[in-house]
């Protein structure tokens, strides 16, 4: 893409955490940004407000629960109504429901797979006709190192995040002919609300396991997304690990 000036970027689950940092990073690079949220409008409006420094009307908050196919479709339709195109799609929305398999219910398994994995298919499927017509586009799916390494108490999450990597490779092969790149990012432990629930002593143990010696910041991931969409024209079907070295392939 080279230059994000006036590109249209959709970031799912962008009201807080990594999604917010990604929306702000792409906005500061000149993109017009759709800040998707599922339930809480206020934080998403705040992100839009922060982005308004880049020019009025360059960002918009759109509510949609992307774990539902019809709402994911609506998100893409509203983006096209508002901005007339879509250049970047970042599938960031995600949840965890951590339990050992012994305690995990089928509903808890389904819910995590629905939000973390199926949502990626729903949004890409909805954006596909426009990507094909434009003959350009960049999709970045936020997976996790847990999808590569596994983690105790996270069978649902690791399966969904590993699924994202497989989906990314297949979608990349299908969409390359339309000049659309599809990549995944696997963050390590990143300081967001999702990580805040981890007890302090466990955080200390985690820190000791990270070769770079610190928990990641949302900005570490946001800059990798920006690199992929700005300079990654010849990168597709890849998994970029932004994890401080905690997992090396
Ligand atoms: P977070 O909980 O702070 O943010 C997740 C966002 O997704 C929230 O804004 C939430 O409202 C939104 N969301 C949840 N379900 C949604 C739905 N159905 N539709 C639309 N939005 C929805 O967590 P985060 O750490 O910022 O996580 C962002 C992504 O990074 C997730 O996919 C997560 O799995 C992944 N990740 C996080 C870490 C970490 O350590 N924080 C590590 C690896 C991967």
Domain residue extents for the chain: 8-241
Indicate the pLDDT class of residue 54, thresholds 50, 70 and 90: low
95-138 pLDDT, tens digit per residue, is 999 999 999 999 999 999 999 999 999 999 999 999 999 999 99
pLDDT over 70 at 192, yes or no: yes
Mutate to test the pocket of ligand 1, among 15, 17, 161, 164 (most ligand atoms within 8 A of CB): 17
Contact residues for 223 (Cβ-Cβ < 8 A; gap 6+): 25
**Phi (first) and psi of residue 187, to 5 degrees:** -70, 155
pLDDT at 197: 87
Tokens of 15: 């009201």
Rounded (5°) CA angle 116-120-122: 120
Torsion of CA 46, 47, 53, 57, to 10 degrees: -90
DSSP assignment letter at 114: I
The average pLDDT across 157-169 equals 98
Give the active site residue among 37, 121, 122, 157.
157
Distance CA 106, CA 225 (A): 33
Q: Tokens at residue 23, please?
A: 């929306």
* Nearest-atom index, ligand 1, CA of 18: 26
38: Cβ below 6 Å to ligand 1? Answer: yes
Whether pLDDT at 85 is above 80? yes
Write the burial class of residue 37 (CB in 10 Å: 0-12 exposed, 13-18 middle, 19+ buried). Answer: buried
- Does domain 8-241 fall under CATH 3.40.50.720? My reply is yes
């Amino acid at each position: 893409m080279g230059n994000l000036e006036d590109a249209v970027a959709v970031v799912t689950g962008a009201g807080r955490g990594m999604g917010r940092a990604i929306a702000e990073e792409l906005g500061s690079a000149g993109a017009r940004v759709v800040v998707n949220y599922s339930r809480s409008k206020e934080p998403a409006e705040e992100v839009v407000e922060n982005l308004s420094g880049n020019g009025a009307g360059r960002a918009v908050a759109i509510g949609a629960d992307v774990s539902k196919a019809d709402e994911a479709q609506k998100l893409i339709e509203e983006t096209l109504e508002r901005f007339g195109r879509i250049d970047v799609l970042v599938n960031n929305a995600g949840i965890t429901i951590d339990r050992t398999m012994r305690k995990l219910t089928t509903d808890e398994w389904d819910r995590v797979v629905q939000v973390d994995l199926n949502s990626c298919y729903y949004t890409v499927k909805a954006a596909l006709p426009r990507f094909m017509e434009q003959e350009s586009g960049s999709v970045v799916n936020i997976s996790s190192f847990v999808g590569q390494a596994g983690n105790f108490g996270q069978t649902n999450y690791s399966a969904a995040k590993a699924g994202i990597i497989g989906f990314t490779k297949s979608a990349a092969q299908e969409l390359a002919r339309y000049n659309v790149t599809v990549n995944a990012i696997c963050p390590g432990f990143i300081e967001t609300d999702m990580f805040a629930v981890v007890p302090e002593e466990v955080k200390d143990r985690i820190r000791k396991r990270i070769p770079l010696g610190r928990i990641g910041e949302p900005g570490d991931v946001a800059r990798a997304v920006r690199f992929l969409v700005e300079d990654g024209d010849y990168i597709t079907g890849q998994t970029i690990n932004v994890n401080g070295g905690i997992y090396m392939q």
